[in-house]
């Protein structure tokens, strides 16, 4: 079975019924459409009440002719001045052709002999990225219902997502995604870049000997960033949750990890709060991704909680990994802090991943994948590849770029952070409390047979969450 790295080569009817008698006029509600709704120019679908024929449209102030009759008895009215054509040209509520169609519908709806009148809407296949690895390997995106969500928004106008992690790299599938970030690692030894805090958040690697054990470079922040916003629909690599993401890399994890003090300062700076000795953040975030933590068994440290509270007060949603200890997340820091969205991990079949923390602290779950456990590699569906989350990465030395499967609540968290940024895209005024409430209320429950220890409100549903955010007043 291939565990894998995949190399860079590697998602009508309308007329009306009008007899010679006067047709009574009734009040009809105006049709409300999204400004980008697409329909066939010059065509209206009309269903007349039983016994009424499609004739006399001119008597209703409409110049049109019947183009065809549908199987359900509806007729398609073709407005004068519009020729028969394919779907390469469309009308929307804001075009002149669209306004003509809607005006005709309004007149028809006001007639007592008309059951209903509506545009001939144009349907399209659910948004499917052209990125070559999407269809084959990125099971995680459909699992959380992202294809339907992408029909609503791909993130245009979304806010900055701050990734508090190992820093950024020049992976080509992340080109154009990075905005100003910062290196918050105080220790030059941990930073491995020859100095302490500085304005360059480049990930130079976090490998080394820690407590007698040698660890390879993880390029963890690059993998997380790829899930949030890898360049999408570009025919290269993988797809990101947000096709128009702007990501700020805040480097806090270096050799052997990172400290509470550095991470707390990064949280504040991400939210646009002044931090002593650090320049003002020119690109404050509205979403913070924290795919990090430790199982301390303690309550949330006040240093974390105070920083989180300050960020949330600025309207920032903080999304945090529940941890990979297969324990109750109540002992995992900072997952157990208040005012955050804590994320558990699901596996390929939608159940809880074997390693994911759980319990009352968890808010929702998202795809985290499984690559291996104590018994070896995991390939539940037998497709020849491990069931992990595929995203952007580098080789062990950082000399080349690739795509690699990882597992963890660290991988689940950016799925939600990316989704939250889509929610802000459709409703910029949404609050962190509303974000959390919507994520919970729209999540799909995970059955007790696949998570009997507590996976929050269930698996996030991107389509339902984005629509719910969009409908907020």
215-256 pLDDT, tens digit per residue, is 999 999 999 999 999 999 999 999 999 999 999 999 999 999
pLDDT at position 109, please? 87
**Of 440, 420, 436, which is closest to residue 163 (Cα–Cα)?**
420
Helix (H, G, I), strand (E, B) or coil at 34: coil
* Lowest pLDDT segment from 121-130, 280-289, 378-387, 434-443: 121-130
Q: What is the 3-state secondary structure (H, E, C) of 403-434?
A: EEEECCHHHHHHHHHHHHHHHHHHCCCCCHHH
The single-letter DSSP state of residue 281 is P
Q: Report whether 370 contacts 411 (CB < 8 A).
A: no
Q: Report whether 414 contacts 177 (CB < 8 A).
A: no
- Residues 6 or more apart whose Cβ sits within 8 Å of residue 397: 217
Query: What percentage of residues in the chain have a pLDDT greater than 90?
Result: 77
Mean pLDDT of 415-441: 98
Q: Report whether 362 contacts 440 (CB < 8 A).
A: no
Catalytic, out of 248, 410, 457, 468 = 410
pLDDT confidence tier of residue 60, bands split at 50, 70 and 90? low
Catalytic, out of 220, 262, 291, 363 = 220
Helix (H) or strand (E) holding 440, with range, is helix 432-442
User: Distance of alpha carbon 289 from its chain centroid, rounded?
Assistant: 13
pTM above 0.85? no
Annotated catalytic, 325?
A: no
CA gap 427, 24 in Å, rounded: 42
Annotated catalytic, 165?
A: yes
Q: How far apart are the first and last CA of the chain?
A: 51
pLDDT confidence tier of residue 25, bands split at 50, 70 and 90? very low
Beta-sheet pairing, 114-121 with 208-210? unpaired
The CATH number of the domain covering residues in 134-470 = 3.40.50.200
The phi, psi pair for 27, rounded to 5°, reads -70, 140
pLDDT confidence tier of residue 87, bands split at 50, 70 and 90? confident
Catalytic, out of 113, 165, 173, 262 = 165
pLDDT at position 274, please? 96
Radius of gyration (C-alpha) of the chain in whole angstroms: 27
The single-letter DSSP state of residue 337 is -
**Of 409, 369, 418, which is closest to residue 389 (Cα–Cα)?**
369
**Of 362, 388, 374, which is closest to residue 453 (Cα–Cα)?**
362
User: Distance of alpha carbon 188 from its chain centroid, rounded?
Assistant: 36
Domain residue ranges in the chain: 39-121, 134-470
- Residues 6 or more apart whose Cβ sits within 8 Å of residue 388: 369, 370, 371, 405, 406, 407, 411
Q: Report whether 118 contacts 43 (CB < 8 A).
A: no
CATH entry 1.10.1060 includes domain 39-121: no
Annotated catalytic, 410?
A: yes
Q: How many CA atoms lie within 13 Å of 422's alpha carbon, on the beta-carbon side?
A: 31
Q: 234: burial class by Cβ within 10 Å (0-12, 13-18, 19+)?
A: middle
Residue 152: Cβ within 10 Å count: 18
Domains 39-121 and 134-470 in one fold: no
Q: How many CA atoms lie within 13 Å of 455's alpha carbon, on the beta-carbon side?
A: 30
Tokens of 349: 């079949």
């Amino acid at each position: 079975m291939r565990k894998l790295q995949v190399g860079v080569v590697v998602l009508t009817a309308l007329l009306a019924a009008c007899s010679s008698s006067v047709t009574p006029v009734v009040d009809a509600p105006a049709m409300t459409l999204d400004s980008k709704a697409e329909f066939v120019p010059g065509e209206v679908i009309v269903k007349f009440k039983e016994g009424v024929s499609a004739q006399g449209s001119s008597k209703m102030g409409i110049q049109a002719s019947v183009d065809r009759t549908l199987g359900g008895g509806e007729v398609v009215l073709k407005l004068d001045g519009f020729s028969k054509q394919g779907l390469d040209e469309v009308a929307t509520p804001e075009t002149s052709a669209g306004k003509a169609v809607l005006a005709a519908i309004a007149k028809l709806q006001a007639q007592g002999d008309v059951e209903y009148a509506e545009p001939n809407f144009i349907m399209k296949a659910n948004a499917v990225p052209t990125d070559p690895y999407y269809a084959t390997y990125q099971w995680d995106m459909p699992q959380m219902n992202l294809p339907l969500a992408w029909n609503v928004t791909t993130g245009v106008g979304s806010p900055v997502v701050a990734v508090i992690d190992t820093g950024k790299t020049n992976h080509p599938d992340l080109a154009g995604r990075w905005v100003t970030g910062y290196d918050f690692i105080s220790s030059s030894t941990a930073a491995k870049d020859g100095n302490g805090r500085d304005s360059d958040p480049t990930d130079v690697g976090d490998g080394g000997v820690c407590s007698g054990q040698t660890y390879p470079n993880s390029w963890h922040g690059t993998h997380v960033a790829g899930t949030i916003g890898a360049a999408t629909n570009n025919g290269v690599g993988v797809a990101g949750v947000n096709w128009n993401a702007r990501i700020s890399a805040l480097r806090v994890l270096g050799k052997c990890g990172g400290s509470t003090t550095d991470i707390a300062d990064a949280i504040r700076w991400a939210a646009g709060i002044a931090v002593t000795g650090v320049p003002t953040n020119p690109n404050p975030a509205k979403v913070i991704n924290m795919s990090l933590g430790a199982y301390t068994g303690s309550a949330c440290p006040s240093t974390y909680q105070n920083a989180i509270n300050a960020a949330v007060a600025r309207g920032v949603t903080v999304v945090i990994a529940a941890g990979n200890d297969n324990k109750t997340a109540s002992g995992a820091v900072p997952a157990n802090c208040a005012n955050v969205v804590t994320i558990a991990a699901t596996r390929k079949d939608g159940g809880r991943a074997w390693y994911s923390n759980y319990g009352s602290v968890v808010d929702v779950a998202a795809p985290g994948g499984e690559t291996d456990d104590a018994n070896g590699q995991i390939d539940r569906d037998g497709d020849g590849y491990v069931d992990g989350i595929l995203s952007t990465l580098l080789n062990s030395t950082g000399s080349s770029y690739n795509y690699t499967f990882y597992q963890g609540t660290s991988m689940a968290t950016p799925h939600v952070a990316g989704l939250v940024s889509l929610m802000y895209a459709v409703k910029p005024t949404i609050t962190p409390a509303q974000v959390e409430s919507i994520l919970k209320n729209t999540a799909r429950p995970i059955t007790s047979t696949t998570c009997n220890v507590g996976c929050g409100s269930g698996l996030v549903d991107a389509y339902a969450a984005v629509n719910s955010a969009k409908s907020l007043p």
